[in-house]
Structure 1
Amino acid sequence: MPIGPIINGLAIILGGFLGAFFQNKIPNRLCKVMPLTFGVASMGMGVNSIIKIDSLPPVILSLLIGSAIGEIIKLEKGIEWCVNKIRTPTEWFFFKDRSSNVNEDVMEKFIAIVVLFCTSGTGIFGALNEGITGEASLLISKAFLDLFTAAIFATTLGYLVMTIAIPQFLVMITLFFSAGTILPLTEPYMINDFSAVGGLIMLATGFRISGIKSFPIGNMLPALIIAMPISKLFAILFS
């Protein structure tokens, strides 16, 4: 029973609903300051993952090739298209949420938090760990953070934040059920390099959430898929 992914998804739905429903009652200064805090937290999680790196070349190569693939297939544009498709029924269901008009600034923040929620090292490792050991405490702890993060972002992005629970749940449930197949094929150095690639993307996500630099983090996501194979290939060729 995937308890962690379910609780994590419900936390985003609840946080997104409460944040959008009570958006006029939450102080503006809190809504402005907290995203900066979340950005710094994302950077911190990214640095924590980066320092686990085993070998720098495969990490850099994965990021370069993965970003090139994302740019070629226009992955971030695809995410934007999906956002616009789900926005209308979401607004209709929740009585026409006028705060969630999708302008450029809203799209920037939305894509950033999609990456933050769906590709965090804590979530990925937590889903794999629960799939192997049945221990859900890591994802349950993450759910508390996601609850408050979703609530704060929903004060500006509206009920749209609740829909992030869908891709996050799909990512986690896939990792949960594939853990028994994936982990036996990996080596510690492959997991470390994978974490480092995720850490770099999380670092870029923090810059984007904080409004410092708008990295194309959506287009960087394919790097996560190819990170472990490239790490393994590099070890075979140069060990």
Structure 2
Amino acid sequence: MVLFGTIVNGLAIVAGAWIGVKLKHFSAGMRETVMKAIGLAVVVLGFTMALEGQEFLLIIFSLALGGVLGERWNLEGKLNEIGNWLERRMKRKSGGKMAEGFVAATILFVVGAMAIIGALDSGFRNDHSVLLTKSMLDGFSSIVFAAAMGIGVMFSALPVVLYQGSIALAATFIVQWVPETWLDMIISEITAVGGIMIIGIGLNLLGIPKIRIANLLPALIVAVVLVLIYSQWFS
């Protein structure tokens, strides 16, 4: 089921928000310990994905070129600007804490590399491990957010399901049009590139100096282009 990971992610947010509304006291120490534990698990997941690549030079070139494009376009900065704009607009419209919780949680759960990589992984190869790991992160985060901001956090599950589900379904259509030999290589190299980015997300969760993961997102597209060129001319 292509949407399994996305649906679990949405349910985790709803469940976490419900717990957060009921549970008002959540210590900072507990939050830090659990987030770092999940960060370690994310790093391990990233390593297992990164090892699936077959052509390491393609992975390096994809990350390097993707990083150049991402920094030139300032993707991370633009995503943050979109998030800030949404937050200002929603606060102006309602001014309530419910809207604040909804916007803050939606930005956290949707604007990030893990949502894109996980949804692509679900669509391309029906592997939901990234989204299931993200579900743990989002579920725990929604507990904290809902405890502070209320029930509005629960409604952020809807844009998450729509966003990730759309990407996963689009990936399944791509699978139908690309030759199988090319598709296998595309999947392995995208998985490897995505795995390295997942490692970066895990390191960010562990508090290691921040890596601008969103600026590496073009590497996923670059990897597809390089694989197609490689398959056409060198295989």
What TM bracket, shorter-length normalisation? 0.7 to 0.9
TM-score by length of 1: 0.74
- CA distance in structure 2 between the aligned counterparts of 1:86 and 1:71, rounded to whole angstroms: 23
Are positions 1:67 and 2:64 aligned together? no
Which residue type is aligned with residue 162 of structure 2? F
Deviations 1:180-203 (A, max 9, x none): 333541332221111100011101
User: Which 5+ residue runs of structure 1 have no aligned equivalent?
Assistant: 131-137
Are positions 1:181 and 2:146 aligned together? no
Are positions 1:149 and 2:142 aligned together? no
CA 168–42 in structure 1, closer or farther in 2 if over 3 Å, else same: farther
- Superposition pairs for residues 78-227 of structure 1, below 5 Å? 78-88=78-88, 89=90, 92-95=95-98, 110=108, 114-115=111-112, 117-121=114-118, 123-129=119-125, 139=128, 145-154=133-142, 155=144, 163=156, 166=159, 169-185=162-178, 186-227=182-223
Are positions 1:35 and 2:23 aligned together? no
Report the RMSD for the aligned CA atoms in angstroms. 3.6
- CA distance in structure 2 between the aligned counterparts of 1:36 and 1:233, rounded to whole angstroms: 40
Deviations 1:64-86 (A, max 9, x none): 11111111111101110121123
User: Which 5+ residue runs of structure 2 have no aligned equivalent?
Assistant: none
TM-score by length of 2: 0.75
- CA distance in structure 2 between the aligned counterparts of 1:160 and 1:80, rounded to whole angstroms: 19
CA 145–6 in structure 1, closer or farther in 2 if over 3 Å, else same: closer
- CA distance in structure 2 between the aligned counterparts of 1:144 and 1:196, rounded to whole angstroms: 18
Residue 25 of structure 1 aligns to a residue whose secondary structure is: coil
**Count of residue pairs the alignment pairs up:** 223
Is this contact kept in 2: 1:52–1:193, CA < 8 A?
yes
CA 8–165 in structure 1, closer or farther in 2 if over 3 Å, else same: farther
How many percent identity over aligned positions? 17
- CA distance in structure 2 between the aligned counterparts of 1:24 and 1:161, rounded to whole angstroms: 15
Is this contact kept in 2: 1:9–1:166, CA < 8 A?
no
Residue 81 of structure 1 aligns to a residue whose secondary structure is: helix
